[in-house]
Amino acid sequence: MYCRNCGQQYVTDQAVMCVKCGAQKGTGENFCPNCGQPTPPQSQVCLNCGVSLAAYGPKGDKSKLAAGLLGIFLGSFGVHNFYLGYTGKAVAQLVITVATCGIGSVVSGIWGFVEGILILCGKIDRDGKGNLLSE
């Protein structure tokens, strides 16, 4: 694995920072973490080896477990989407529940339950700012 900031290979895969530049592992956008070749800014895929660069971003401060459980138990109110920063979806779920005096909570509840399962399974793995959810 290579440093995304300077392109130097890590001493071990368990390293938390680069010994050459001091950058935290996963930070930077200059080099591919798989092959160490330079990558264009904002690139989603390494042009040299084809690996997806999206999975190598920094971890956010939002918990995957907390978001998933909020989706399962309070999904009809959109609490998990408020937590993750998806305010538009959260307001839509809340409006469906409140505007129908709870009748629409079946729809928004199923919607929230499914999103909670998807979060726990890793299919939804980013918060509203694009940061990866922490384990």
What are the sequence ranges of the domains in the chain? Answer: 1-56, 61-134
Helix axes 64-74, 105-121, angle to 10 degrees: 160
Mean of the per-residue pLDDT values of the chain:
90
78/71 Cα distance (integer angstroms): 7
Query: Does residue 107 carry a pLDDT above 80?
Result: yes
Among the residue ranges 4-8, 27-31, 122-126, the one predicted with the least confidence is: 27-31
Give per-residue pLDDT as tens, 42-93: 788 899 998 888 777 666 789 999 999 999 999 999 999 999 999 999 999 9
42/52 Cα distance (integer angstroms): 12
Place 94 in a pLDDT band, splitting at 50, 70 and 90: very high
pTM exceeds 0.85 for this model: no
- pLDDT of amino acid 77: 97
Residue pointed to by tokens 């084809």? 50
